[in-house]
Amino acid sequence: MRYSIDVARVRENTLKLNGWVIGKTPDTKVTYAVEDGNHEPVEFSFVATRRDDVSQAHFKRMLDKDLGFDIQFPYERGKDYYLILTCEGHRVRIKYNEKLIARRASVAHKRTQKILDRLNPVTLQTAWDFYKENGLKALFLKSKHSLQGIDSDYEYAEWWDLTKPTDAELAAQRGEKFAYEPKFSIVIPAYKTPEEFLCEAIDSVIAQTYANWELCIADGSPAGESVERVLKKYAEKDARIRYRILGENLGIAGNTNAGLEMAEGDFVVLADHDDRLTPNALYECAKKINENPDCDVLYSDEDKLDMDGGALFEPHFKPDFNPDLLTSVNYICHLFVVKRTLLDRVGGFRHEYDGAQDYDFIFRCTEQAEKICHVQKVLYHWRSHPSSTSSNPQSKLYAFEAGSRAIMAHYERMGIKAEKVEKGVDYGIYHTKFVIEGNPLVSIIIPNKDHTADLDKCIRPILTRGTYQNLEIIVVENNSAEPETFPYYEKIQREFPNVRIVRWEREFNYSAINNYGVSFAKGEYLLFLNNDVELINEDFIAEMLGFCQREDVGAVGARLLYEDDTIQHAGVVVGFGGIAGHTFIGRHKAEKSYFNRAMCAQDYSAVTAACMMSKRSVFDKAGGFTEELAIAFNDIDYCMKVRAQDKLVVYAPYAVLHHYESKSRGLEDTPEKIERFNREIAIFAKRWPEILKNGDPYYNPNLTLRKSDFSLRDLKKEKIGEPYKLEVSLD
């Protein structure tokens, strides 16, 4: 038997326990019981919950099984209680009392428990399973990264307390007047809402520092189960609060539409019936709208709120509008604000997308928006239910099927031809397979000096195992000295007629060499490739081409792994380390990343040219690679020139290759190289000062620039909104 008790909390004389139990097989029967200190049975409520995170970890597949539980029973302080789990003839008794619960809930205990959890039988079994699938080194890395989290500078609750608006700031907001003061209509569909949660939601609106709002609540609860008594009480005290009792459940879309029909404001704000807005939420929205008069869609960052409202966790600090990330996952969610005129144009919620109705609505709004703005602050606390898609996405699989249809409908409206939208790394994460239009020639440019064994490992699998075959490969020979290099060149050209060797006889300059190689290319698409990469996914060219053929895309990057299957490249953030750096470096491919970002197709400011595809037309318009940047940042600079053409730079996570670059070689190791590296940093900084000053729009200023794992910004060393200072001179 393997088990975990994830939550043990006392609220209003009730002890609530959440967790999971499994046996050797998914079908193993588990029984539950509760006893008091005298071992007398205690009546309890039991709800089975889906825990596909558990089934994936322990059974290596998603299962239509309820492996988790939610147990509640009356609790009297000062007494002992026992949860009894029985499975496969084994019986476990877990003791609970006030002192034990308090100790387990303490911050010190949480930190210690993170270590102890790694030593208990359940976690050891999980580690063993991970080891069998991924190997010892991967397990070591996963454990190392997990343990490093124990020494994070902040728990989120502490970080939130240090960054949330102070009472003085909130008071100042209440007295501030904007040139334009839009009226916000907060629309909430209610359905069998627990009164305490509904009251918290309404109270959070009343507490807003910005006063020009109305609250429109449509209650679709069955007759006799409405919350009219509560709503009437609030409406009598505040004329800005209005409600409708629908008398029946019209579904998620129908209930929301009923609320939208009540809205009379300039902007509509969507919220759920049991969540909370931060007191500065509407103020920040009004401020952003005044700064951007053409803004007609607005969204913010968010975090999660536990069931009893006592703890905040899992903050989601989002990028600015990222259309390809949105087709990978509904990252926008809350808080979502739309101008009334745009809402009238796109229409309300659609019943056929119930379960993903907000996803479909967000697509339709963003497609037609004049300007989409992002408030880079948490303005919304999303209550996390054990059975909801926020805490357990697999519990509502129908929602993800509706989401897939919403994405396909979006592509159809945008004129993008997609073959299918399938499950990505997890439910709620989508992977699009695009239709390849025609059979365009792709020209692969590979600089090379000696290292013919590496070069062969690069070329041969592409030509013999790769699924896309309308290729030409141009190897740019750069002053090789080893005698076996040139016979290899002759051999590979005889074996594969679409391989061509051209000679660059000047000094090494990565930008100039690639530009020279492109001068021989005949393809409509260019694929820049290092000679030390080797395909993993045989479909990697088609994965990249599917994005690159889109009119709005100028360049596409791949996911590159070191030889030990840790991440070398999964997109570039401008600002990491002062200039630019790769995301999630050193994470094992099997580890989860920040909101699964390493496995989501998305737009970044840049990708690495170790494997980068670009349109020939975009390349020519950009003037190729900047030859003044001979060694460093030339690919980042190129991507910046692509974006200057209003083209997207896309990271394609399912285009996977090994990159055998040495992780230990360092950036530069001689005084001359260090001087050149610093000089190229200065060149890049001079060419693109705005992004270094204002921050990468595809990253969030609440996240650190000192590490690549999207962890919280270290408030002791980095002020929010300020760039990370370089250690080298830019003179």
Question: Which residue segments constitute the domains of the chain, with CATH numbers given?
Answer: 2-105 (2.60.40.10), 167-392 (3.90.550.10), 523-694 (3.90.550.60)
pLDDT value, residue 166: 94
Which of 86-90, 644-648, 718-722 has the highest mean predicted lDDT (pLDDT)?
Answer: 644-648
- Confidence check: pLDDT of 136 > 90: no
Per-residue HEC secondary structure of 420-441 comes to EEEECCCCCCEEEEECCCCCCC
Are 622 and 525 in contact, with CB atoms under 8 Å apart? no
Instruction: Give the mean pLDDT of 314-326.
Output: 96
Q: What share of the chain is helix, strand, coil (3-state, %, to 5)?
A: 35, 25, 40
Helix ranges (H only) for 213-336 are 228-237, 251-262, 281-291, 323-326
Backbone angles phi, psi at 446, to 5 degrees: -130, 105
Q: For a pLDDT cut of 70, what percent of the chain falls above it?
A: 86
Q: 76: left (phi > 0), else alpha (psi -120 to 50), else beta?
A: beta
Instruction: Give the mean pLDDT of 456-485.
Output: 95
The C-alpha atoms of residue 403 and residue 360 are separated, in whole angstroms, by 7
Of residues 141 and 623, more confidence is placed in 623
- Confidence check: pLDDT of 149 > 80: no
In this predicted model, what pLDDT tens digit does every residue of 264-300 receive, in sequence order?
999 999 998 888 999 999 999 999 999 999 999 999 9
In this predicted model, what pLDDT tens digit does every residue of 378-419 receive, in sequence order?
999 998 765 454 445 444 677 889 999 999 999 999 999 999
Of residues 25 and 412, more confidence is placed in 412
pLDDT value, residue 386: 52
What is the pTM (predicted TM-score) of this model?
Answer: 0.80
Of 584, 589, 638, the residue nearest 614 (C-alpha): 638
Range of weakest confidence among 97-111, 369-383, 451-465, 492-506: 97-111
The C-alpha atoms of residue 63 and residue 547 are separated, in whole angstroms, by 32
Indicate the pLDDT class of residue 111, thresholds 50, 70 and 90. Answer: very low
pLDDT value, residue 442: 98
In this predicted model, what pLDDT tens digit does every residue of 532-570 receive, in sequence order?
999 999 999 999 999 999 999 999 999 999 998 899 999
Of residues 9 and 64, more confidence is placed in 9
